[in-house]
Structure 1
Amino acid sequence: MEIFGSTFDESVFEKSRNRASSTVPFSYKAKSCEPRWFCYSETYEDAVEQQKTMKFRADLKYREMRYQSALDDYTACLSLVPSSNLSVKRDVLEGIARCYSHLGRTEDALETCDKLRKEATNTSHLTCILQLELSIHEGCGDLRSSTTCLQELCSLHPFNPWHWLKLARSYQCLLEYPTLSECPRKPLEPQALTQEQRDVARLQACMCFIRARLLIGILKIQQFSFVLERSKRALEDAEDSLQRLQLGERTIKTVSEVMSEDLNPERMREENQDGESLSGLSIIDFDQRWWNKLYAQLHMSQKMDSSADDI
């Protein structure tokens, strides 16, 4: 009795008798290109080759800081990109937005970012768009809009300590400058910070530095080499900044309690949204998730202290 699968066909070990001996092996020669070939190419086999040539040319010009010429090539390339090729379309639109930003055309750059938002399908795309908007606002000195972008990044990636550090430094800038920074190309008069606004910015900076410190403390357990060194330097920077803010120990303790409520490994894994589809994705507003809760907690603590003093 044969066991199923225990036998094999002996013919698989026999030499092939019908192998063609006259077949000439295929000769392959790799195509070689001269350095910067796309700078001189004027004839194209098809629209795809023309699109690639214009894209390479625009990227080089952008690197060489010839932004107007790069913008012209990016714009020409965009008209050649098929509607189905979303990855190249996003890349070209980002190049256009960055050229507009360097040329001082901030409104055009932000309008291009709006087009990119419409093309976004997952959180990775949205993260890139927010970082692009952040660089545009920073480039024209619009500190309040930069802060708003960083708040969105923290809401989208609540366990990324580097977004929290940048947001904390953004609040610090509000404290260091006597006026609220506005984009110089906007026809708006800068308004001086009131004392209440300064107190709020100081507390928000403290909140972000503490959140970053907590996250780095969790992550550095798994880090080595230069990554660990970077984390240690960031922790030292956060500690120095907290001391300069000159907040009381009671306040810092309350802030630490509120900002650490969701920091446990299981929840951090569950709420990791890298690459997640935007359809049905729920992102809690920054103020609703952290600031409002912290403000209410501090207000309650002050009331309790006042009641104790009355007794």
Structure 2
Amino acid sequence: MEILGSTFDDSVFEESRNRVSSALPTYNAKFCEPEWFSEDPDTEDMLEKQKAFKFRADLAYRRKQYQTAFNDYTSCLSLIPDGNMSIRRDVLEGMVRCCCQLGRREQAQEVTEKLRKEASNTCHLTCVLQMDLSIFEHFGDPLASIDALQQLCSLHPFNPWHWHKLASVCHTLLDTVCATPSPCAASANQARGPLSQEAGKVSFEGERELWLKACMGFIRTRLLIAILRVQQSSFVLQTSERVVLEAEEALQRLRPPESTLQTIAQVLSEDLNPEKMREENQDGESLVGLAAKDFEERWWNKLVCAGLLHKEEEQGSVANQCIQATR
């Protein structure tokens, strides 16, 4: 009686066939001289020309030769195949940075608009919004920066750094406005519209919007970090603790009433579920069918409906708060 598995196939003991070993093709590594791309490539290979212009442009930008870099980026762009979107976006972003350094805001925004039209996922859109933000910051346009940051907060609602940046820009602009006598001393008969891009002016109503958005940004930052800090350690945790301390100090200067603090915290914590925060990761998702609620619909309108923007009897004049905080 044979035990199952105790017998062997005779083929196991047969000699294996003699296999003819084929020699692997030799590989000759390409050696390049330092800054080999500095000279015009003497080749018909479009890929080699593209690489040369790209590397040359990157080096020129590093050397602060922004016009030269822009010209080489433009030459590189014409050689990029239609399907190579990653290199195309990289080159376009380089062109935007060059335009900023050259003081060409309109041209920078035109190139950014090309990036926006070609964006196909949330990562692309995030890069476009951050590029917008860098343009606005470079040319000193805080009102436009606030709009870009609100879009970033809507796209990535659980990112505390976008919220902290939004609050900081609003707070800085509010301090600037209140340090200037004419806007803060606007009479009651003056037009009181919301934040306006016109001539960089901020109306009395705009001051209150800045105050409320600064408060909600710092509070949201504090709420988010309280949830995320349990997963952090080392220098990341130290950075979070520093940002929370900055938010606390800013809120002390803004002096929101306790009832206002509670209302803002309640509205801004409605979607802060740790499980939901882990699941709702939009990085790389397609923009097709993306129904991200905008800033106003998701948070701002709820605070306005709660009357926080018009509770002058509780929070007093924003201008007076600014003056008292700077004393």
TM over 0.5: yes
Give distance in 2, aligned partners of 1:246 and 1:221. 29
CA apart distance, 1:271: 3.0
Question: Do the aligned partners of residues 12 and 195 (structure 1) sit closer, same or farther apart at CA in structure 2, a change above 3 Å counting?
Answer: farther
Give distance in 1, aligned partners of 2:13 and 2:165. 66
Identity of aligned residues (%): 52
Asked if structure 2 preserves the Cα contact closer than 8 Å seen for 1:162 and 1:212, the reply is yes
Asked if structure 2 preserves the Cα contact closer than 8 Å seen for 1:155 and 1:284, the reply is yes
What is the aligned partner in structure 1 of residue 123 from structure 2?
124
Asked if structure 1 preserves the Cα contact closer than 8 Å seen for 2:166 and 2:217, the reply is yes
Question: Do the aligned partners of residues 250 and 62 (structure 1) sit closer, same or farther apart at CA in structure 2, a change above 3 Å counting?
Answer: same
CA RMSD of aligned residues (A): 2.7
Give distance in 2, aligned partners of 1:13 and 1:126. 64
User: What code does the residue aligned with 1:232 have?
Assistant: E
Matched, 1:283 2:292: yes
Q: Give 3-state SS (helix, strand or coil) of 1:177's partner.
A: helix
Q: Give 3-state SS (helix, strand or coil) of 1:83's partner.
A: coil
Question: Do the aligned partners of residues 297 and 7 (structure 1) sit closer, same or farther apart at CA in structure 2, a change above 3 Å counting?
Answer: farther
Matches within 5 A, 1:63-82: 63-82=62-81
Asked if structure 2 preserves the Cα contact closer than 8 Å seen for 1:58 and 1:74, the reply is yes
CA apart distance, 1:194: 3.2
Give distance in 2, aligned partners of 1:298 and 1:33. 67
User: What code does the residue aligned with 2:278 have?
Assistant: R
Asked if structure 2 preserves the Cα contact closer than 8 Å seen for 1:251 and 1:298, the reply is no
Give distance in 1, aligned partners of 2:280 and 2:271. 10
User: What code does the residue aligned with 2:54 have?
Assistant: K
Question: Do the aligned partners of residues 92 and 148 (structure 1) sit closer, same or farther apart at CA in structure 2, a change above 3 Å counting?
Answer: same
Query: Alignment length, in residue pairs?
Result: 294
CA apart distance, 1:190: 3.5
Asked if structure 2 preserves the Cα contact closer than 8 Å seen for 1:254 and 1:298, the reply is no
User: What code does the residue aligned with 1:283 have?
Assistant: A
Q: Give 3-state SS (helix, strand or coil) of 1:175's partner.
A: helix
User: What code does the residue aligned with 2:273 have?
Assistant: N
What is the aligned partner in structure 1 of residue 92 from structure 2?
93
Deviations 1:231-259 (A, max 9, x none): 11011011011101011111111111111
Q: Which structure 1 segments of 5+ residues have no match?
A: 181-186, 306-311
TM-score normalised to the size of structure 2?
0.83
Q: Give 3-state SS (helix, strand or coil) of 2:306's partner.
A: helix
Matches within 5 A, 1:293-308: 293-298=302-307
What is the aligned partner in structure 2 of residue 308 from structure 1?
none
Q: Give 3-state SS (helix, strand or coil) of 2:199's partner.
A: coil
Matched, 1:267 2:276: yes
Deviations 1:157-197 (A, max 9, x none): 000000000000111122111379xxxxxx96332x33332
Matched, 1:140 2:150: no
Asked if structure 1 preserves the Cα contact closer than 8 Å seen for 2:89 and 2:115, the reply is yes
Matches within 5 A, 1:95-114: 95-114=94-113
CA apart distance, 1:15: 4.1
Give distance in 2, aligned partners of 1:9 and 1:42. 64
Give distance in 2, aligned partners of 1:195 and 1:265. 38
What is the aligned partner in structure 2 of residue 189 from structure 1?
199
TM-score normalised to the size of structure 1?
0.87
Question: Do the aligned partners of residues 2 and 122 (structure 1) sit closer, same or farther apart at CA in structure 2, a change above 3 Å counting?
Answer: farther
What is the aligned partner in structure 2 of residue 250 from structure 1?
259
Give distance in 2, aligned partners of 1:109 and 1:267. 37
What is the aligned partner in structure 1 of residue 225 from structure 2?
216
Give distance in 2, aligned partners of 1:257 and 1:65. 48
Asked if structure 2 preserves the Cα contact closer than 8 Å seen for 1:101 and 1:139, the reply is yes
User: What code does the residue aligned with 1:32 have?
Assistant: F
CA apart distance, 1:10: 3.3
- The farther-off stretch of 27-36 and 161-170 is 27-36
Q: Which structure 2 segments of 5+ residues have no match?
A: 184-196, 315-327
- The farther-off stretch of 96-105 and 268-277 is 268-277
